[in-house]
Amino acid sequence: MTAERLLLRFLFLHGTLALSGNFWHITDLHWDPSYEVTNGNKLMCESNNSKPVSQVGLFGSYACDSPWKLINSSIVAMSEILPNPDFIVWTGDDTPHVRDEKLSEEKVLRIIGNLTQLIQSVFPNTKVYSALGNHDYHPKSQLPGHSSDMYNKTAKLWQRWLKQKSMETFQKGGYYTEKLLDRPGFRMLVLNTNLYYNRNNATENDKDPAGQFKWAEEILTKAAEDKEKVYIIGHVPPGMFEKKRGHFWYRPQFNERYLALIQNHHAVIKGQFFGHHHTDTFRMFYDSKGVPISTMFISPGVTPWETTLPGVKNGANNPGIRIFEYDTDTLLVQDVVAYYLNLTRANTKQDNWEKEYRLTESFQVMNASPTSMHQVLEGISKDNCRLQQYYRFNSVNFDLSECDRKCRASHVCAAREVDFQRYENCVAREVAPASFGGWLLSILSVAVSFLFVFA
């Protein structure tokens, strides 16, 4: 960081130091109760279909979901690094990647309940804003657009964190809103975006599952009238998955509607925080003139499980947790501080959660505002060193291979374009120059060879 930037950053932080707040974001814990390392140093886990696993360790394996020892380690590490956060954001996916017949409503609720008790015991006085993941229901991903027994029972597990009105809307459709830390002028909007998931057959024919879009529109409109500032959290994000070209999570009509929701109400939305990917990435939202208006931060998972999604290479990650620093007056996200556990080292020594990076230092920006995050994206797009740095962080220092031009197109376009068609156009633009350049180079090579032959 240059001396000028250091000075500017010092002045910026100095001017807002008294107003600085922070909160934890954890997501995708995916506890696998079947994880067991036997006396013969053999590993069993149902999240790997009980197949033999070569890398065995007490804190986990890249082939499996999280053992309890890893989950406990992550929550304890949070309490040691930042014991008194303003609040915690927990964006779901608590059960393992196993077939539905391996689980039941009772087992899913027991897992959610155990993780809830762990967080409450380690952070007894901290407010937690918790959102459902697609794995927090049985059958998985089939969250209905109406009240259900599982919504009711999960609300009771979280009743220590939920106000009465939040309990009512959660029981209706798995979503709620509250004043952020009971402060006037600040609001948390907790969405059940699993309703929009393209694997959710329960909402396939619904135009507005659980009336959540209509409800969110009303909440955000009222927030503007009341001059409130809003954070939005959820599990499944819109747009494309950066590690697989053209792979999306929302049904197209729901993706369009979510994008419109943010564009129409961006003036009050000060941050979006999601999970599901298990990766460390972000999504930009722009207005019709291309001005950055909002950023969605997608945090990495605690589980190291390697995705089985066809076509994804090096789809595992090291366990990650993140602190967000924010201005308590404006809700501007000032910085992101990522911590991770090197799973390979942890399994040979002990669990040592390390600071991975600080966003403003690693990407040379003033803060984590939409304008700054646009600068981060531009750097990734144009500077190969920044690209490789981002790519390493994306898998929480698991995948250390080079991100080539096609890889860059997938990551840059996923971050830049939430709209499906604009994403496809972006990929076409990013890939086309390389193809044309290769074609031109071939023609020139043939021409040069021709001249040498007949010289």
Domain with residue 307: its CATH number is 3.60.21.10
Q: How big is the chain by its Cα radius of gyration, in Å?
A: 23
187, 122 contact by CB (below 8 A): no
Evaluate whether residue 434 is within a structural domain: no
Please give the pLDDT value at position 445.
Answer: 39
Please give the pLDDT value at position 41.
Answer: 63
Evaluate whether residue 238 is within a structural domain: yes
One-letter identity of residue 328: T
Q: How confident is the model at residue 40 (pLDDT cuts 50, 70, 90)?
A: low
268, 86 contact by CB (below 8 A): no
Tell me how far apart the alpha carbons of residues 216 and 425 are, in angstroms, rounded to a whole number: 30
Q: Of all residues in the chain, what percent carry a pLDDT higher than 90? A: 85
Name beta bridge partners: 37: 43
Please give the pLDDT value at position 8.
Answer: 45
Q: What angle do CA 260, 183, 88 make, to 5 degrees?
A: 75
Please give the pLDDT value at position 320.
Answer: 98
User: Of 166, 373, 131, whose CA–CA distance to 270 is shortest?
Assistant: 373
Evaluate whether residue 451 is within a structural domain: no
Please give the pLDDT value at position 337.
Answer: 98
Mean pLDDT estimate for the chain: 91
User: Of 206, 194, 201, 30, whose CA–CA distance to 112 is shortest?
Assistant: 30
Q: Whose structure tokens read 């021409």?
A: 447
Please give the pLDDT value at position 43.
Answer: 74
Please give the pLDDT value at position 50.
Answer: 66
Please give the pLDDT value at position 435.
Answer: 47
Q: What is the pLDDT of residues 141-188, one digit of tens each?
A: 999 999 999 999 999 999 999 999 999 999 999 999 999 999 999 999
Q: How confident is the model at residue 52 (pLDDT cuts 50, 70, 90)?
A: low
From first CA to last CA, the distance across the chain in angstroms is: 54
Please give the pLDDT value at position 452.
Answer: 34
235, 91 contact by CB (below 8 A): yes
Range of the domain at 405: 3-418
Evaluate whether residue 437 is within a structural domain: no
Evaluate whether residue 174 is within a structural domain: yes
Evaluate whether residue 441 is within a structural domain: no
Total domains present in the chain: 1
Please give the pLDDT value at position 448.
Answer: 36
User: What mean pLDDT do residues 340-348 have?
Assistant: 95
Please give the pLDDT value at position 54.
Answer: 64
33, 67 contact by CB (below 8 A): no
Given a cut of 70, is residue 201 above it in pLDDT? yes
What is the per-residue burial (b if ≥16 Cβ within 10 Å, else e) of 298-316? bbbbbbbbbbeeeeeeebb
Please give the pLDDT value at position 451.
Answer: 38
Evaluate whether residue 448 is within a structural domain: no
Residues in the chain: 455
Q: What is the pLDDT of residues 415-446, one digit of tens each?
A: 999 999 999 999 999 988 554 444 443 444 33
Please give the pLDDT value at position 157.
Answer: 98
Given a cut of 80, is residue 16 above it in pLDDT? no
Evaluate whether residue 438 is within a structural domain: no
The pTM of this model reads 0.91
